[in-house]
Amino acid sequence: MKPPTVLQGKERDTIEAPPPPRKRWAPHKWIKEESLEALREKEGNVIELFISKLAEEKMRNHSIAHAAERREVMGLMLGGFYKNEGNVYSIVRDVVTTDLEASSVRVRFNRGGFEQLFESLDRCGFDYIIVGWYHSHPGHGCFLSSTDIDTQKSLFSGRQHTALVLDPIAEEIRAFYLENGEVLERCFGIYWDDYQNPYYNRAVKMRKVRSNPDGMPPPEGGLGLSKTLHENRNESVEE
Amino acid sequence: MPLRIRVRNAETGATVDMELEAENTVEEIIEGAAGYWEKDPGAYVLRCGKRLLRGQQTVVDAKIMDSDQLELIPDPEGG
């Protein structure tokens, strides 16, 4: 019997696109002051990882949900690799996970949970690349253990691939990558899309009340909520 | 009659076309694809749509069809 034969391979082109603009990303609120200093130093240069607000919330909530029982959580980060002016950066748009075999010091996907994981991959709605993985160290701090480094070396050895570690108890988060076999820390930003901004493309303007149907002066400090709602329904509002 | 399939590397989006015999196992497909990308075959699983393909299944057992696109998915372990 002949073993499987590789006929031909095809690489995927890295898409040329600008990263999220500076006004639409910020450092993570769990980043420690010293790491933030490093981030600030790097700000003038290039940030190589942007994580969407949606993905960040999912990872943080996942880690917090199992913090009390001190159980690690884990998942895959989906997004893509892009280049801009010769620099390559990655974007995490979403994350997926499934049932886990987890303790306070170890985590992996449950063997019976893969089909649920595949369903989540199909549901993500875009042509994803798995740009890295996340897991938590509840109460242990953020670093790559020897197991994590083995995983990074065997699965995510590319410079662009990231291992994100969260400690929901210490409220700490750090990102790591490998370069020439060495573990390095990566600065990253949390970005938000315009559609996540509730005031996208709308100016919030002061409303002027034209008349007061009850003949009563507005309460001190302005109109109460019920009054405002009433007047919004019944009176014209000048913008 | 050999089958032609495509395997996608979920970590890079790269693909590889492979020719299979009916008796080839899933493990051999993973080894072939992972070897092509210089990856550790033991750290991956292979999926066909929503189905996880098991290592000792043959192409026939796993119901792999001509022109199927399979995907190599990383199976990380954290500590």
The string of pLDDT tens digits covering residues B55-78 is 999 999 999 999 999 999 999 999
CA B61 to chain A, closest CA, distance in angstroms equals 16
- pLDDT attached to residue A203: 61
The pLDDT of residue A115 is 96
Is 90 exceeded by the pLDDT of residue B45? yes
Q: Which residues in B have their CB inside 8 Å of a CB on A?
A: 4, 10-21, 23-24, 28-29, 32-33, 36, 39-40, 42-45, 47, 49-52, 73-79
> A5 and chain B: CB distance < 8 Å anywhere?
yes
Residues of B in contact with A105 (CB under 8 A): 79
Which residue of A lies nearest to B73 if distances are taken between CA atoms?
A130
- B69: helix, strand or coil: strand
Predicted model pTM: 0.85
| Interchain proximity B17–A155, CB inside 8 Å | no
Residues of chain B with C-beta less than 8 angstroms from the C-beta of A119: 50
The answer to whether the CB atoms of B51 and A106 lie below 8 A apart is no
Structure ipTM: 0.95
Q: Has residue A225 got a pLDDT over 50?
A: no
B54 is written with which tokens?
């098991």
Pick from A12, A117, A135: CB nearest B13: A12
- Six token digits for residue A195: 């559609």
Tens digits of residue pLDDT in A49-73: 999 999 999 999 999 999 999 999 9
Lowest mean pLDDT among A23-32, A92-101, A108-117, A133-142: A23-32
User: What are phi and psi for residue A136, nearest 5 degrees?
Assistant: -115, 155
pLDDT tens track for A162-199: 999 999 999 999 999 999 999 999 999 999 987 766 66
Cα–Cα nearest to A110, from B77, B73, B27: B77
Contact B22, B40 (CB under 8 A): no
Tell me what the mean pLDDT of segment B25-33 comes to: 97
pLDDT-wise least confident of A35-39, A115-119, A223-227, B31-35:
A223-227
Residue B38's Cβ-side half-sphere holds a number of Cα atoms within 13 Å equal to: 3
In whole angstroms, give the CA distance from residue A166 to residue A175: 9
Structure tokens, B51:
């189905």
Task: Compute the distance between CA of residue A102 and CA of residue B77 in angstroms, rounded to an integer.
Answer: 10
Residue A28 has pLDDT above 90, yes or no: yes
Please report, as a single letter, which amino acid is at residue B24: N
Per-window interface: A 157-176 vs B, CB < 8 A: 158, 161
Q: What are phi and psi of A135, to 5 degrees?
A: -155, 165
Average pLDDT over residues A216-234: 45
Please tell me which residue, A209 or A83, carries the higher pLDDT value.
Answer: A83
Cross-chain Cβ contact A12/B51 below 8 Å: no
pLDDT at A221 over 70: no
Is the pLDDT assigned to residue A11 strictly greater than 50?
yes
Say whether pLDDT at A99 is over 90: yes
Closest by Cα among A11, A48, A57 to A30:
A57
Question: Distance (Å) from the C-alpha of residue A103 to the closest C-alpha of chain B?
Answer: 9
Report the distance separating Cα A138 and Cα A165, nearest Å.
10
